With several copies, the nearest count.
Chain A
C-alpha cells in the first residue's frame, strides 16, 4: 500500500469506504470532489490533516485516507488553527456542517477570517441540522418549517458569503455538491490559496430538507467564473446576495493578505514538535529575573 514519495498521487490513494449517509445525500458528491481536488493538488495523504466537528458532514473525512482530528461540534476551526500553527507544512482542511460552522462555531469562523490562517473550510451547507434529525440551521430560509420550527423560521438566514466578503476574507467561494467537477476545482483553488479559504457548498439533504432539494439547487446554481473578477469586492458583495432564480457558484472573492502563520517566527523553521528546547537561552532568561 505504501508508495514511494515520488509516485504520483492517484484517487485510490485516498481509498473507498462505506459511509453512514442516506442514499442520495449530497455529501457523496462533496466526498468525490474532495478526493479529486487532493489528487489534483498532488497531496500525499500523510501530509493532509482534516479537522471536522460533529454532524453528518463532519463524518466525511472518515471516508478517505488522510490524517483526521474529528473533534467537537462547532470546534473544528480552533483545532485546525492550532494544528496549522504547530506545523505549517500540513495541508489543513476543515470539513463540517452549516450548523457546526455557522451555528455552534460562529465565533471561531469570524476569528479565523480575521486571522487569515491558511486553512481551507468546506461547509456542507444543507440548510438543516441533519444528524439531530432536522431542526433549522443558521442557513435555513425564513419561513422554513421543521418539527422544532412548526411556524417556520423567524430569523434571517446567515449568509456566509456576504459575511465573509464583508469581512474581506482571504478567499470566499460557493459550490454545489451536484457539480462535483466544478466543486473539485474550487477546492483545489481553496487549498492552494495561501490564506483562509471558505467554501460554502450547497448540499441537498434528502431526509430532512424537502425545500432546498437537488432539483431546487440544480436549477439555480450557475458558475460565475467567466463573468466575475474575484478581486472586485463590490461585485463580490452583489453576488453574495444573489439568491433567487440564480445562485452564483464559483470564487466570489479573493485577496492576497499574508497568512496568519507567517507572522510567527517560531513557525518558520519547521514543525514545532521538532524544535529543540534551548536551555542556554532559558538559563539566561532565568538570570534576568535577578
Chain B
C-alpha cells in the first residue's frame, strides 16, 4: 500500500509557532503565492483557543497535480519556536528539512539554521521565514513580493517595506546556502486560480444566491462567514448585523426574510443550540432561512478551535415538532460555494429552514479554486400576486407549497403565526385544520426529496471496499481510496453532499452490493451510519471514527480500515 506522502508531486510544509507570531499572515501569503504560481494547495489551520502563546500550526500541502486532503508526514517544518520542533518531530517524513532560528539547538535531523536576527527586524522575522520557504520551494521572489503588496494594499507603507526587505534578505541569504530539498515539478496550469477557504466560499456562494441579510453572534469557527459578507457588504448591498445573542440573530433573519430579504445566520454548535426554538418557528411560519452550522468538538464549549462532525443528529432533529428541512454537507471548498447557493434556492422554494453543515476543518482550509462562473444564478421569482382576495398565505395545495407574498410589497396583508393557523395565517384551535396543516407542511418533503443532491460515487465499479462519507472528510476519504486502489484493491467512495432528506434509491444498491462498507465519520458514535440504518435498515458494519479534534487524513483512515479489506 502506498502512502499519501509518497506521492511524488506533493509535499507538505508545516509552519508552527505561538499565536501572535504572525504565523497566519505568512502562511496565507505563502499559500497565495503558491496558488498564483499555479500549484494546488490544501492548507489546514490548527490553532488553540487563545490570542497569544500556545501552539498553532498552518499545514500547507502543495502539489503540482490536484490534491484533496491534508496529509500527516511533514516535508518542510518551519519551527518559529523550539516547542514546534519538539511537537512535530515524530511527523517528519524521510528526507524532511527543518527550518529554525540559528539559536535553536536542533539535532539529528537535517536543519537549516537561519540567522533571523540578521535577516530582518524583530517584527519582520516571520516574513523572513516566509521568504526562506518561498525560496526553497522555488517560488520567484517577485511572486511573494506581489502577494505582499496585495496584502498591505497601500496601507502601512513602513511595515510593508520592512516586510519586503525581510523577504529580499531571505532570498539573498539562501542563495548563498546549499539547501538539499526535493523540488516539486513545475505546476502545469496557466489558468488564474483564486484562493479561498470554506467559509469564504460559502459566503461568496450566498452572495451569488442573493443573500441580503445576515445576523450573527461571533462564534468560532463560523465567524468568518459573516466577516466575509461584511467585507463585501458595501459593494453587494448586504445588511449584516451583530446581534445581542444567537436567539436574536436567527429571529432577525426570520424577520428580514418575512419582509422579503434572502437571509442567513452562521454559528457553531452551542450558538446553534440557542437557535433551536426558532428553527421550529421558521418551520411553522414557513419562512425561508439558511442556517450555517460550522461544527467544532463539543459537548458544551468543548474545543472551540478544533474540528468535529458530531452535530448531524442534533441538527437533523433540532426544533420541537415535525416540519421539513434540508441539510447540505459540503465536502470541499467548491461545494461550499455550490451548496450555499442551493441552500438559498431550497429555502426559498420550500419556505423553511435549510442547513449548511460544515466544520472547522473545512471552514478554515484554503484551497486553490478555479473562479466560479456566476452566470447561472438561482432564480428568485417575484411571487405571483393572487388576484382574488382574500389572499391565503397558507393555502392548502398539492405540493404543500403556498403562495408567499411579502408584507408591504403587495396590496395584500400577510399574516404569519407561530400558533397553528388557518389558511389565512390566523391563530386557530380547530383540530381538523390542525391535521390538514401538519400534512401540508410535511408534504413539502416530497419536493425536497426530488431535489436532493445525490451521493457521489467515485472509484471502481463493483468495489470490494466502499468508503462512505459526508461533509468535510470527502477529500481524505477519496485519497485514501485512491491509495487502496493503487495497492490493488477494488475500492470506491460514496460521498454525501446532502444528508437530509435521504433518498434510498440513490445509494442503497451501491451499499448492499459492496462486500465491505466502512463509514468514515468525525464523531464517536457513527451518527450517519445510524441515520442510514433508520432510513433503510442497512447496517454499515465498519466505522472509522475520529473525535480528537483533528481532521481526517488519508493516513488516519488507511491505518484504521478493517483488516483484510485492502490487498
Contact = CB atoms under 8 A, between A and B. Distances in A.
Nearest to A208: B51
B418 A86 contact: no
A135 to B, nearest CB: 5
Interface residues on A, range: 35 or more
Nearest to A284: B235
Contacts of B180: none
Interface in B225-276: 226-227, 230-239, 241-245, 247-249, 251-261, 263, 270
A6 interface: no
A82 B51 contact: no
B178 to A, nearest CB: 34
Contact of B256 (A85, A149, A283, A287): A85
A138 B194 contact: no
Contacts of A45: 413
A67 B408 contact: yes
B415 A68 contact: yes
Given A49-B259, A71-B281, A148-B226, A282 B237 contact: no
B389 A110 contact: no
Nearest to A63: B426
Contacts of A21: 50-52
A267 interface: yes
A86 B204 contact: no
A261 to B, nearest CB: 9
Contacts of A108: 244, 247-248
B552 interface: no
A47 B285 CA distance: 20
Nearest to B255: A82
A180 B415 CA distance: 26
Interface in A267-290: 267, 269, 271-275, 277-279, 281-287, 289-290
A279 B301 contact: no
Contacts of A287: 192, 194, 371
A2 B236 CA distance: 37
Interface in A126-165: 129-133, 135-136, 138, 147-150
Contact of A271 (B218, B245, B372, B409): B409
A29 to B, nearest CB: 17
A74 B248 CA distance: 10
A233 interface: no
Contacts of A215: none
Given A69-B416, A132-B223, A103 B408 contact: no
Contacts of A84: 255, 259
Contact of A81 (B207, B232, B238, B255): B255
A72 B207 CA distance: 29
B461 interface: no
B490 interface: no
B236 A72 contact: no
B52 A22 contact: yes
B194 A286 contact: yes
B252 to A, nearest CB: 4
Interface string A35-53: 0000000000111010100
Contact of A111 (B192, B237, B248, B426): B248
B285 A22 contact: no
Contacts, number: 283
Contact of A266 (B20, B207, B238, B249): B238
Interface in B103-131: none
Contact of B212 (A86, A207, A284): A86
Contacts of A133: 51, 218, 223
B253 A82 contact: yes
B554 interface: no
Contacts of B418: 54, 70-72
B237 A135 contact: no
Given A62-B427, A106-B244, A267-B239, A272 B260 contact: yes
A73 interface: yes
A289 B208 contact: no
B411 interface: yes
A135 B256 contact: no
Contacts of A266: 212, 233, 237-239
A72 B251 contact: yes
Given A271-B260, A290-B195, A83 B255 contact: yes
A132 B230 contact: no
A86 B416 CA distance: 17
B53 interface: yes
A107 interface: yes
Contact of A82 (B247, B252, B300): B252
A75 B251 contact: yes
B386 interface: no
Given A265-B234, A277-B207, A290-B195, 10 more contacts: A45-B413, A68-B416, A78-B247, A79-B254, A82-B259, A85-B252, A107-B248, A110-B244, A133-B218, A272-B260
19 contacts: A20-B50, A23-B52, A49-B259, A62-B426, A68-B414, A82-B261, A87-B260, A107-B245, A108-B248, A110-B244, A111-B248, A131-B51, A132-B223, A147-B227, A266-B233, A271-B409, A277-B210, A282-B208, A286-B194
Interface of B: 20, 32, 35-36, 48-54, 192-196, 200, 204, 207-208, 210, 212-213, 215, 217-220, 223, 226-227, 230-239, 241-245, 247-249, 251-261, 263, 270, 277-278, 281, 285, 300-301, 304, 369, 371-372, 374-375, 377, 389, 406-419, 425-427
